[in-house]
Amino acid sequence: MLLASLFMAVGCSSNPKSHIGAFSQAAAQLAEETKRGYQIVNSGTYEGKVYDLASDTSLKINDPSQVQSMLAVKLKPEIDKRVGALDSIQSYAQALSDLSAAEFGRDMDRATRDLNGAMKGLNTNVQKLGGSHTISDKSIQLVATAVNAIGSTIQEKMRRKAIKEIVIQTNPAVQDLCAILKKEFPAMVQFANAGFQLAYTEIIKDYEKRKNQMPLEERVSAIRDIHNRIEASDRLNDYPPKLAQAADHLATAHAALYQAVMDDQFTTNELVSKIGEMAAFGKSIKQFNDSIATP
């Protein structure tokens, strides 16, 4: 459906809604699944710690803080930064879509507030990840001026100018975040793999202890669960390149959007192509996440 609407949009440069909406939908979906990928890896590491603690019957837990300390995931702060960056890209894409589609003054007011918050979010996350291309106060003011010029009666000519200004001013920050996210994070998978392996190793030990008392169907279910967990652990090694590719798709699609507005062509074949590739990859990474999240 998304791809069909994209191809219908080519040649309709007078209406920015179609391509901005398609870009936003594809970017939001891909950002969501990329976040989910990081969260799956994080939960795999956490699950290993849980099984490790549960298997130690001599362990005594005296207070809640002890549990917190034992289950702390070493890489969580770094993963949280990356998830935060994707959140800000997702919010920006949605705000841009809302502004392009607003038909009434109240909708425009809400979209303007959301856009302002999204731009600040991009800035915050560029800084957290050590990037260098923040959105300056001057750039934010330029965007605010352009958006205010749209007016309560929604002048399409001024809306196009505002969208152009927004994309121009945000592109360096978006590219910066994506460049940082494209850097693979091998340690993340090493920790997660150890967590997955620890979990299924403890499950195997428990199975061996109890199998003689288990009915056939329960043994079948247990063996199937063990097998699926082992396969999910093996597939984890594919995560770093997939997460890097996701960031690359976000970057190239926004770069195509930037070039389109710079040329005052709000829908181009190149933009349609990049959005289509981003949407397809979003679907692909969702399937991959599903295969690991439901072992």
Query: What confidence score (pLDDT) does residue 4 get?
Result: 45
Note down the domain range covering 27.
Answer: 2-293
Is the pLDDT at 7 greater than 80? The verdict is no
Q: What whole-number distance in Å separates Cα of residue 151 and Cα of residue 89?
A: 26
Distance set, CA 260 to CA 3, 10, 135, 163, 275 (Å): 18, 12, 20, 11, 13
Residue owning tokens 């050590």? 130
pLDDT in tens, 131-170: 889 899 899 889 988 888 887 677 888 888 999 999 999 9
pLDDT in tens, 194-237: 777 888 888 899 999 999 999 999 999 999 989 988 887 887 77
SS (H, E, C) 126-183: HHHCCCCCCCCHHHHHHHHHHHHCCCCCCCHHHHHHHHHHHHHHHHHHHHHHHHHHHC
Lookup: tokens for 134: 């923040």
H or E element in which residue 63 lies: none
Q: Are 166 and 111 in contact (CB under 8 A)?
A: no
Q: Whole-model pTM?
A: 0.79
Q: How many domains does the chain have?
A: 1
Query: What confidence score (pLDDT) does residue 295 get?
Result: 55
Alpha helix stretches (DSSP H) within the chain: 2-9, 17-55, 64-70, 76-101, 105-128, 137-148, 156-182, 186-210, 216-235, 239-262, 269-293
Lookup: tokens for 82: 């990356």
